[in-house]
Structure 1
């Protein structure tokens, strides 16, 4: 399961962002931040209690199914006057949800989270980043394992000199990306692929911010 991984902002930062704003409506997200326990119903309730203790008036709360969905503003319209009474909306979702709500509701929106990365859930409940969306995908050469993301140094032509018994020198609890690639290619009888030189990444190859237009229908 793929999710956008977020981390709650310190309450001191949220208080600073809400300075001079006394009436707040809180919005959580029923997908990513619910799963990662940073913006689901329990967290929204806790935030309501925290803000009330700090003198804010919470005009209402809700957890929308998917904050980044274009239908979210229609769902929020059911809240009616409770949103209209608020000076600002505190959104406990990823940045995609915050920007969706801000662009469509035309209200002052304050993010309660820092968006970290897009991650895949592992069986033990851990989320690992699997793609940096670099635009120069080479996983066809590396057995489906991305060294740009899985390697702390983003090396694309084999491991560094610090790998130790298959572990990363930066994080001893993390498997070396190139050890994983070697084992995968060996299993697939494709070790010769490791001899193919990968050109240095062009970090300026994709304009930023990214844009993509669908090709014309045939």
Structure 2
């Protein structure tokens, strides 16, 4: 899941300083789960913007704001409102905000900061899980990602600088390679920890990337 947080309201006000008629667009998936882009959050933002003299002319929550076809469909339903608006304030992730921007001829401003790809630990608590490196080695590390969980993204074992099982870079974090060791031991796969991993081939994540299932699913 893509984890996002609201931008500070003062920053949003600055983005909208030259705009009066505003449309709010959320996202029915990740941003709704994170409580930053669902209907409840858009209603609250509408009230805050109206308190400072802005006019919110519409708000919608697409099923998912990173789907070009779905967003285009939903925008058609309010096309007259869009043509009369000064700006759109997006409460999706950065991907969703860019998707909306491709479909309109007015400014689209982000209301959220996109933080990371992560998991929901419990309601309101999220942890980073994946850096989308394009070369997954979870099958060799007990389903614990060293690229993400290790502050140094070490692929071949611990750095030797930890204390009491905690990371020297961030003492609040458990040491990734201890977690990996314990998990592989539990799985009866401890021999995997001795397999030397080659450096990441970062050409696989040269930005921007496109994957087309029509071309066999290879990244381009």
Q: Do Structure 1 and Structure 2 share a fold, with TM-score over 0.5? A: yes
Give the structure 2 partner of residue 29 of structure 1. 27
For the 8 Å contact 1:73–1:105, the answer to whether it is kept is no
For the 8 Å contact 1:132–1:149, the answer to whether it is kept is yes
Uncovered stretches (5+) of structure 2, i.e. residues with no partner? none
CA distance in 2, matches of 1:216, 1:26: 36
Question: CA shift at 1:84, angstroms?
Answer: 2.3
Greater alpha carbon shift after TM alignment, 42-51 vs 73-82 = 73-82
Question: CA shift at 1:52, angstroms?
Answer: 1.2
Question: CA shift at 1:210, angstroms?
Answer: 1.9
Uncovered stretches (5+) of structure 1, i.e. residues with no partner? none
Of Structure 1 and Structure 2, the greater helix share is in 2
CA distance in 2, matches of 1:210, 1:146: 22
> How many equivalent pairs are there?
215
For the 8 Å contact 1:142–1:193, the answer to whether it is kept is yes
For the 8 Å contact 2:63–2:70, the answer to whether it is kept is no
Q: TM-score, normalised by structure 2?
A: 0.88
CA distance in 1, matches of 2:56, 2:72: 19
CA distance in 2, matches of 1:169, 1:72: 44
**Residues 109-135 of structure 1: CA distance to partner in whole angstroms, max 9, x if unpaired?**
111111111111224652222211112
For the 8 Å contact 2:62–2:70, the answer to whether it is kept is no
Distance 1:33-1:77 versus aligned 2 partners, 3 A rule = same
Give the secondary-structure state (helix, strand or coil) at the position aligned to 2:24: strand
Q: Is 1:58 the counterpart of 2:56 in the alignment? A: yes
CA distance in 1, matches of 2:107, 2:123: 38
Distance 1:96-1:155 versus aligned 2 partners, 3 A rule = same
Greater alpha carbon shift after TM alignment, 43-52 vs 125-134 = 125-134
Distance 1:15-1:216 versus aligned 2 partners, 3 A rule = closer
Greater alpha carbon shift after TM alignment, 49-58 vs 88-97 = 49-58
Q: TM-score, normalised by structure 1?
A: 0.88
Q: Is 1:180 the counterpart of 2:179 in the alignment? A: yes
C-alpha RMSD over aligned residues: 2.0
Distance 1:49-1:155 versus aligned 2 partners, 3 A rule = same
Give the structure 1 partner of residue 198 of structure 2. 199
Give the secondary-structure state (helix, strand or coil) at the position aligned to 1:26: strand
